[in-house]
Amino acid sequence: MRDFPSCFGENGVQVADASCSSVGVSKSSQNSVTCVYRCKLFDKSCLISIVWSKSLMGQCLSVEIDDASHQCIFKVDVKPSLFSKRKGSKCLEVNSGRIEVFWDLSMAKFGSGPEPLEGYYIGVICKREMVLLIGDLTKEAFKKTGAIASLSSAVFVSKREHICGKRVFGTKAQFCDNGQIHDLKIECDTIFGDDPFLVVRVDSKPVMQVKHLRWKFRGNCTILVDGIPVEVFWDVHNWLFGSNLGSAVFMFQTSLSTEKLWTCNSISDSSSVFSWSCSGSFKESKQPGLGFSLFLYAWKYEYRY
C-alpha cells in the first residue's frame, strides 16, 4: 500500500504529518481538527490551514497561509485567553498588497469537539476579495469586512481529525463541494474475540468490512458515496500490536477529476455487508487533479477534558 502522505503524488499538497506514527503526539493534539483549503492569493496558489484545538485552557484557533513551496507567509493564533473577545482581525502588508484575516466567534456554539457547530465566521481577504469564508454567518462577514466575493473560490483539500473511543469512532464527513454531510462511523473491537474485524458505516449503512484484521491490518479499497468513488486506506497496526497510546490511521480520498476503476471481488453476507478483496488491479487515467482527503487518527480509549 502507498504511504499515506505520498497519496497526494507530484501535486505536492502535503497536508498529512511527516509520519503516520503516533510517536510524539501530545494529548492536546488528540483533540484537534485541521482543515486545509487551496486558493489563489495575488494570482499564486496557496494553502490556508484552519486549525481548531481544545485544551484544559479552552478553545484555540490557528490560521496559517503557506505559499506554493509550503513556506508559512502568514499565521494568526487565537489562544484561549483571547477567546474572551471572541472576535478580531489581523492584516499583513506584502509587496503585492494586503492579506487580512477576520474572525467572529462571539456567538459560536461548540459541541464535544474543538470545531464550532454554528454561529461563527472566519474570512481571509486579499485585494478586497473574500478568497476564503467558512462558517454560517456569511452575511455578517461581508457586512463587517466590506469585501466582495472572489471569482475563484477556495477548494477544500483536506481535513485531518483526531477522534477517540473504545469500539466505535464517529465523525461527520462531506466528500464533495455542496454535497451531503454524512455520519461516518468506524467500528472495531480488538479486545474480545480471536479474529477482530473492521466495519465502516456511512449514515448507519455498512459500506465496507475487513475480516481477518490481524492479517490485513493495512490495506485499501474503494467504496461509493453519493455516486463518487472514495478510496479508503487503513492502518490499524497500533491497535493490534502496538501500545495502548497508539492510534490507527484512516484516509478517505476522492478524486473528482480523475476516473478511477478498481477491480475488486465483493462477497455479500446475509446482512448486506461487503467483504472487499483489495488485491485487485487499479487503473487511473492521466487526467490531473485531486479531490478531497479526510485523515482520521483514531485513539482507542476515551479521552475527555
Q: What is the pLDDT of residues 30-52, one digit of tens each?
A: 588 999 999 988 888 999 999 99
Longest dimension (CA), the chain: 64
Query: Counting Cβ atoms within 10 Å, is residue 155 exposed (0-12), middle (13-18) or buried (19+)?
Result: middle
Cell of 266: 465483493
Q: Quick one: residue 2, left, alpha or beta (phi over 0 = left, psi -120 to 50 = alpha)?
A: beta
Instruction: Report the alpha-carbon distance of residue 250 to residue 96 in Å, rounded.
Output: 40
pTM: 0.75
Percent above pLDDT 90 for the chain: 38
Instruction: Report the alpha-carbon distance of residue 125 to residue 221 in Å, rounded.
Output: 39
pLDDT attached to residue 31: 80
Q: What are the backbone angles phi and psi of residue 266, rounded to the nearest 5°?
A: -120, 140
What's 239's DSSP letter? H
To which residue does cell 467500528 refer? 187
pLDDT attached to residue 190: 72
Percent above pLDDT 70 for the chain: 72
To which residue does cell 490507527 refer? 248
